[in-house]
A and B are shown apart, each in its own frame.
Chain A
């Protein structure tokens, strides 16, 4: 019996996965269902499928990332693809030029799937216009990080059995966060009540128009929350006068047991990683029974397998 035949049929007609925006509720649910299967497979001893046998997947990372890159690498390998990692760290102003050039060069190597992370919003979409293969957005600037939102949703659904009606509080650096944007879009599409909690300096202008309730107090915003999703605070936010100090930030916006007590007793604590313990999250909270941070990592591989499978159906033979 063919192994590929076991996978549920997914109605997913896109050539690329560039963002959550543009995905229908049905497509999101289908990807989550497919991810469940992949999660089961990943817990078996024999983890390998052959959906992507003969296919080439290139991880193209213009911004350093350990976990997302290795997660995609593992997902590709479990599906039988040949995986190549390319890290192109850039800090010069000339980066845009090399983006198109790199795309054209890589395209000539005839990959089937490109997984791309870039520091500029829209860069992955721009690159997708210049290549013939499927492109997955692994994070573009402050824009989107769709597989993160999918893995968060999968983790939530596995614990709560649903997304609809849950109160999800996303806390921290909303302004710079692609994770927040993708999560807001996805959670709203699946009917959750989304709150964002941040000091006004870290809120994006017009964020309420994305369908979220806005709070600047953790004590108020966490009240009765089912899910507490923390975001990483980069250290340079302190030097650019967005927040005064680490200790002040932790005092008002760091997740400790006192603030967490405002949420529902069975609330889940999430973090996309890597964590700054003692900055946005108390170390003991991160390791608490309510924390599902490690499971998020596991679901990350499953979701990326599902996305690769869904896109692979539309790859030319």
Chain B
């Protein structure tokens, strides 16, 4: 392992990662073996790739640890352009690499909004020049995210927009939503929607219920989410457009998605790592790092999210990485910014579900790799011959304590501040290039 040094160029020599527990959720593979990387792709893999058989390749002994496809994170706010004080593509990508994330989809709610071909192009160029991991822009589905005029979905898609969303707002107009879904269908474009009825959620700052009442905070009922979800599914039925609910947060939404899938509709959904591991009680005495959209819900809702991942009804886990500085968070709760940094803690927090026995490891990894890659039409997210060598070597058991000041992200608003996590990325490779190597500090 020490033989490898992080560097921007594709190594000239092939690399063989040997003696690893290979897990490929896409094919169901879970076996000891090795992966041979050449020219940035997986040239070969299997039990026959071992130290003695790898020819002139540089050998990395994985010590029996898990080697999996790198994670594909469908929801990252990367700050560029316009919010570089919170995060840049460079810093977000470093955080991603440290978390085992090899592909990020950055959100369109930037300044200016990513609703123009030139902006998509800008993101791709900036990512090419500054980012360590693959970056794909999600473009706005309406101009300026205003929810009124459709964005140039066809041109944006040709320019490289991987999906279309509306930032942290739901389209209020069913008609615009219908048109977007119908039009996007012609281009095979994926629509990723935020679920929050703007009138029901107005003034709300956390989950509605006893906790909000005790804190004297206005609540957002689950119905704000389910109303939009139900409506959207009716529109999917009407149009046949590919629809992905970006984040669901409550049990009722899971039931709705499950029913839609049973009816054979092209509907999928995601959940954030926060809604899988935290609940409204974590807000405690007005802790603003736990303020997010959708809001953290009840423990029963959290349990439902975990069940949804375990059953496969929830397709994707996202970090919902949303870096915020002190100026946004050091405020009274109702006035504080929404969002939590999450790229670097994604794996450690997700492994809580595995260590608890709630979700089997392959299923957990599937929601982080193969499923999002499939939805986005990416070649990555799997361990297979010819696939990009986007890989993560995972120590499932390594204990660590989250120290915000040590995070790569520019903003330190992690709800896992001082949390004890078990499991972390040891090596992260993007197209065969080492972008992260975990260096335990002496004495730690």
A residues bordering B, Cβ < 8 Å? 21, 93, 95-97, 99-100, 118, 120-123, 125-126, 140-144, 178, 181, 204-207, 209-210
Contact = CB atoms under 8 A, between A and B. Distances in A.
B335 A126 contact: no
Interface string B275-299: 0000000000110000000000000
Contact of A206 (B210, B216, B335, B336): B210
B330 interface: yes
A301 to B, nearest CB: 25
B420 interface: no
A121 B208 contact: no
A132 B207 CA distance: 33
A124 B50 CA distance: 63
Given A96-B336, A206-B209, A125 B331 contact: no
Interface in B331-355: 331-336
Nearest to B208: A205
A281 to B, nearest CB: 24
Contacts of B25: none
Interface string B212-223: 111111110100
B327 interface: yes
Contact of B216 (A126, A141, A205): A141
A122 to B, nearest CB: 3
B331 A97 contact: yes
Contacts of B211: 206
B330 A100 contact: yes
Contacts of B333: 120-122
A126 B212 contact: no
A144 B286 CA distance: 13
Nearest to A206: B210
B210 A96 contact: no
Contacts of A121: 215-217, 286, 332-334
B332 A126 contact: yes
11 contacts: A96-B330, A97-B327, A118-B332, A120-B332, A122-B285, A122-B332, A140-B216, A141-B216, A142-B216, A143-B215, A210-B210
Nearest to B337: A96
B208 A99 contact: no
A144 B216 contact: yes
Contacts of A99: 331-332
What are the nearest 5 A-B pairs in CB distance? Answer: A143-B216, A96-B331, A206-B210, A120-B332, A122-B286
A93 B334 CA distance: 11
Contacts of B208: 205-206
B327 to A, nearest CB: 7
A215 B151 CA distance: 50
A95 to B, nearest CB: 7
Contacts of A178: 216
Given A96-B335, A205-B210, 7 more contacts: A100-B330, A122-B216, A142-B217, A143-B215, A205-B208, A207-B213, A209-B210
B208 to A, nearest CB: 5
Given A100-B330, A120-B333, A126 B286 contact: yes
A173 B16 CA distance: 69
Nearest to B326: A100
A99 B285 CA distance: 17
Contacts of A144: 216
A287 B386 CA distance: 86
A95 B210 contact: no
Nearest to B212: A205
A143 B285 CA distance: 11
A178 B213 CA distance: 10
B332 A206 contact: no
A117 to B, nearest CB: 13
Nearest to A124: B332
Contacts of A93: 335
A177 B183 CA distance: 48
Nearest to B210: A206
A114 B331 CA distance: 19
Nearest to B335: A96
A209 B211 CA distance: 10
A152 to B, nearest CB: 18
A97 B331 CA distance: 7
A129 B219 CA distance: 25
Nearest to B221: A205
A205 B332 contact: no
A121 B213 CA distance: 11
A207 B219 CA distance: 12
Nearest to B209: A206
A144 B217 CA distance: 11
A122 B215 contact: yes
A97 B286 CA distance: 16
A122 B331 CA distance: 9
B286 A210 contact: no
Nearest to B213: A204
B335 A120 contact: yes
A86 to B, nearest CB: 18
Contacts of A205: 208-210, 212-213, 219, 221
Nearest to B334: A120
B327 A181 contact: no
Contacts of B327: 97
Contact of A210 (B213, B221, B335): B213
B287 to A, nearest CB: 10
A101 B421 CA distance: 35
A177 to B, nearest CB: 9
A142 B333 CA distance: 12
A125 B285 CA distance: 8
A209 B298 CA distance: 15
A210 B332 contact: no
A143 B336 CA distance: 17
Nearest to A62: B332
A315 B201 CA distance: 43
A308 to B, nearest CB: 24
B316 to A, nearest CB: 30
Contacts of B212: 204-206
Nearest to A208: B210
